[in-house]
Amino acid sequence: MDPHCDISMHRHPHADTFEYFLSGEGLIVINNTTFKQVDLDRENRLIPISRLDWHGGKTGTIPSIFLSIQIWDDEIMAVTNDWEALLDGEAIAKPAEH
Q: What is the pTM of this model?
A: 0.80
pLDDT grade for 96, boundaries at 50, 70 and 90:
low
| HSE, side-chain direction, 13 A CA sphere, residue 92 | 7
Contacts of 38 (CB under 8 A, 6+ apart): 25
Q: Model confidence over 1-36: pLDDT tens digits?
A: 888 999 889 999 999 999 888 888 888 899 988 887
Write out the DSSP string of 36-61: EGGG--GGG-EEEE-TT--EEEEE-S
For residue 98, pLDDT over 50 is answered with no
Mean pLDDT of the chain: 83
Classified as helix, coil or strand, 74 is coil
Taken in order of first residue, the domains within the chain and their CATH numbers are 6-93 (2.60.120.10)
The confidence score (pLDDT) of residue 49 equals: 94
More reliable by pLDDT, 42 or 84: 84
